[in-house]
Copies of this chain bind each other. A is one copy, B any other.
Amino acid sequence: MKRLTLTDYESLAELRHQIRRFLHFSEAAARAARIEPRQHQLMLAVKGLPKNVRPRISELAERLQIQHHSAVELVNRLAAGGYVQRRHGDDRREVLLHLTSKGERVLRELSLSHREELRMQGPALLRSLNRVMTGTGTKSSDGTGAKKKKRIQRRAL
């Protein structure tokens, strides 16, 4: 379908608002734990990697959807802060990452608060995503026919 109604824009904007709300929570939580947001994300990616996958630089870059050299920079800072260690694989080109106990501790605290936050705010995020996907609006139904419009009060936060 090649048509966009005002409601479509509102749905997309609302979804981004919900995503940003979560990300902003996450950024603030990371900084409160004395770590930069992206570095937190890399630690989580290391810890959350399936066990049969080696925690290599390029593997993590894919998980974070960044270029490998951006991952290198994150690892530099994390290693400097004592959150991760570099080791070598059998293939000595590879660098394998391991969390230090300091890294484990910080990640654990952050993961707990993130799970909590997602259980609270996740439903709103689900709703806004479903609205974008199904084209269901909070106001009028479609807009193309410009039929009678029913206004529904929108909840501010």
Q: Which of A61-99 contact B (CB under 8 A)?
A: 63-65
10 closest A-B pairs by beta carbon, nearest first, are: A13-B48, A24-B65, A20-B65, A126-B156, A9-B48, A122-B133, A10-B48, A9-B47, A130-B157, A13-B44
Alpha-carbon distance between A34 and B86 when the two chains are bound, in angstroms: 38
Binding site of A, secondary structure by majority: helix, strand, loop or mixed? helix
A35 at the interface (CB under 8 A from B): no
Number of interface residues of A (CB under 8 A): 51
Check if B16 sits within 8 Å of A112, measured CB to CB. Answer: no
Chain multiplicity (copies) = 2
A45 at the interface (CB under 8 A from B): yes
Check if A119 sits within 8 Å of B133, measured CB to CB. Answer: yes
With contacts A48-B12, A118-B132, A157-B127 taken as known, whether A64 is within 8 angstroms of B111 at the C-beta atoms is no
Q: Which B residues are CB-close (under 8 A) to A21?
A: 65
Check if B133 sits within 8 Å of A129, measured CB to CB. Answer: no
Distance of A154 from chain B, by nearest CB (Å):
6
Interface residues as binary, A11-34 with B (CB distance below 8 Å gives 1, 0 otherwise): 111111101110110000000000
